[in-house]
Structure 1
Amino acid sequence: SAPAQAPAAGASPSSAAVPVAASPAGVEDACVFLVSVGENGRVSTGSGFFVAPGRVATNRHVVEASQGGLLVTSKALGRPVAGRVLARSNEENGDYALVAVELPADARPAVLGFADAARRTDKVGAWGFPDVVGKNDPGYARLLTGADITAMPELSYSEGVVSAVLDRTPPLIVHTAPISPGNSGGPLVNERGEVVGINTMISLDEGSYRQASIALAGADLLRFLTAQGVPVQTRRAATEAP
């Protein structure tokens, strides 16, 4: 299995984030592109999404080599901002990180809520910034080469169904929405735009050349975020809200 690479960013929370609508536009406004710079100057990229005002969830492996700096950007943010890793999961299989992002005064990124669970045959969508798309994206190239630090890479969407939910720790969601390196840390959402998982890796079968997309279950990510004191929206809370 190969993780899909990505970085993170952040500083202080703000009340500027707004709840996401159950629409593609709402999910798009919650997703961010992360650029991580290691001590040796090596750059890696990945995906993340707002789970609370000024707070971004991503994979731990996306931000592990961010000693040289962390950059977060999206169309909703309007420009690149610095990020700061607040917490990383310590469990061997819990690949999570929480990043603080200082929101520009005029930014209104959306916040994604969480569904209760994902079930086999559920329709799902994977959002993120895969390298396979980015290598053909002029904005992606301008940003990473330093030619235009304000350039915005294009967010990518793919869809599929849940093939299986594996009863492991944490549970793994195997799905058919195509992902690749760069998707790591991006959300896997249901038809209502609610998070059911966080895309983390791909599993390749060399014999059949088949690829499986794998996300860590949203319920386990929710457990991690709750332990960090993040006020995450859940399906029930969203339903009961006035």
Structure 2
Amino acid sequence: GPSAAAAAPVPAELVTAAGRTVPGVVSVMVGGKSGAGATGSGFAIDNEQHIVTNDHILARGGSGPVTVETSDGRRFPAEVVGREPGSDLAVLKVPASAGLPPLPLAKANSTRVGEPVLAVGSPLGLAGTVTAGIVSALNRQVRIGNGRHTAVQTDASINPGNSGGPLVNARGEVVGVNTAIATIDGNGSIGIGFAIPIDQVQQTADTIIGRGG
């Protein structure tokens, strides 16, 4: 219809990337009954059904039982393989029956300022939500938890519920893990999001999986 024609065009490759990414992204629910506890997002990184998410989601959930929900509404108990609070990353594992398609990871140092990206996750429990933007800056110094880290800055909307979800490029490769708690010297910013760069994510995930199986 005419209303669709009036909308800003979205590059076709981003539509394809979104379709490929959403099935590998899950909602993460920690502790609490009937919605109490903490929620966020995560995504599958390998065929063993390991899922990367933000550690602060587990911390806020009081380390209660972890459940993940797939984009098609199935729920699975998740085991916490390991946690790395210093970099705000954690790895979960779900049963093989979940059959989550792992998301491809971008090569280190391949991300460029200005390239289009999608943040995928479950803000406000709205599973499979996609927001689009560009890479606004690389190697941005931000505060995550008690430490300073370099992050990918984006203008794609990152809300608390899609924290832990992937930031993906137009090829559908993960360039970072969205983290809603990153700030610049204690100020949260509207319209600015930060993601933990993929090379750090891969290193941390490999270490946790190596330790915890």
Distance in 1 (CA, whole Å) between partners of 2:96 and 2:74 is: 10
Is there any run of 5+ residues in structure 2 with no aligned partner, and where?
A: 1-15, 142-147
Q: Report the aligned-residue RMSD.
A: 2.7
Matched, 1:47 2:26: no
Matched, 1:31 2:31: no
Aligned length: 182
Q: What is the letter of the counterpart of residue 69 of structure 2?
A: T
Q: C-alpha offsets along residues 1-49 of structure 1, whole Å, 9 cap, x if unaligned? A: xxxxxxxxxxxxxxxxxxxxx632221110001111159x932110000
Choose from 112, 132, 149 the match for 1:159.
Answer: 132
State whether residues 127 and 186 of structure 1, in contact with CA within 8 Å, keep that contact through their aligned partners in structure 2.
yes
Q: Which residue does the alignment assign to 1:113?
A: 104
State whether residues 203 and 212 of structure 1, in contact with CA within 8 Å, keep that contact through their aligned partners in structure 2.
no
Alpha-carbon shift at residue 67 of structure 1 (Å): 3.0
Q: TM-score normalised to the size of structure 1?
A: 0.67
Is there any run of 5+ residues in structure 1 with no aligned partner, and where?
A: 1-21, 135-152, 231-242
Choose from 70, 83, 99 the match for 2:78.
Answer: 83
State whether residues 177 and 213 of structure 1, in contact with CA within 8 Å, keep that contact through their aligned partners in structure 2.
yes
Choose from 203, 208, 211 the match for 1:228.
Answer: 208
Distance in 1 (CA, whole Å) between partners of 2:138 and 2:50 is: 27
Alpha-carbon shift at residue 126 of structure 1 (Å): 0.2
Q: Which residue does the alignment assign to 1:67?
A: 63
Q: Secondary structure of the equivalent of 1:23? A: helix
With over 3 angstroms needed to count, the CA separation of the structure-2 counterparts of 1:89 and 1:175, relative to structure 1, is same
Alpha-carbon shift at residue 119 of structure 1 (Å): 1.8
Distance in 2 (CA, whole Å) between partners of 1:211 and 1:26 is: 25
Distance in 2 (CA, whole Å) between partners of 1:220 and 1:170 is: 10
With over 3 angstroms needed to count, the CA separation of the structure-2 counterparts of 1:51 and 1:187, relative to structure 1, is same
Distance in 1 (CA, whole Å) between partners of 2:84 and 2:199 is: 14
Q: Which residue does the alignment assign to 1:189?
A: 168
Q: Which residue does the alignment assign to 2:117?
A: 124
With over 3 angstroms needed to count, the CA separation of the structure-2 counterparts of 1:203 and 1:229, relative to structure 1, is closer
With over 3 angstroms needed to count, the CA separation of the structure-2 counterparts of 1:220 and 1:82, relative to structure 1, is same
